Amino acid sequence: MATERTFSILKPDATARNLTGAVNAVIEAAGLRIVAQRRIRMSDAQAKKFYEIHAERPFYGELVGFMTSGPVVVQVLEGENAVARYREVMGATNPAQAAEGTIRKQFAQSVGENTVHGSDSPENAALEIAQFFDDKDIVG
């Protein structure tokens, strides 16, 4: 397995509850290295672009509204098989279905306010990373 990068967002429900450090502790304990990290306020245009793939879904407006409702922390994570590994660590999208010990089981409040986002494929990871980071800002 090769070293890989994935894109992560700690969502507004995480920053609102001061969970940045607690979530990062789970990420690091899982063997993923945080090689870039920035706290930002996502603009409406950024959130719409980021979630473009969900534009036709009934929850799109709510999702964009939530992601712009407070600060988020955007991150690049690096490690063996990082995309799949982070999805394992996050747990199911719906916290009610998330496995014990996962970030969403521990911290998420609902399917919308679910604490973290992680890329679903290496291809999307590269696109998502490029939306928020320059190569020079990623220090592996």
Site track 54-93 with ligand CMP (rule: CB under 6 A), x = hit = x----x--xx-----------------------------x
Helix, coil or strand: residue 72:
strand
114 known ligand binder: yes
Pairing assessment for the beta strands 116-118 and 33-40 based on DSSP bridges: unpaired
Q: How far apart are CA 44 and CA 42, in angstroms?
A: 7
The single residue of 5, 48, 85, 117 carrying the catalytic annotation is: 117
Q: Which is nearer to ligand CMP, 48 or 117 (CB)?
A: 117
Q: Give yes or no for residue 114 binding ligand CMP (CB under 6 A).
A: yes
Is 104 annotated to bind a ligand? Reply is yes
Which residue from 22, 19, 29 is spatially nearest to 71, judged by alpha carbons?
19
Helix (H) or strand (E) holding 10: strand 3-10
- Concerning whether 54 is annotated as a catalytic residue, the answer is no
The residues that are catalytic are: 117
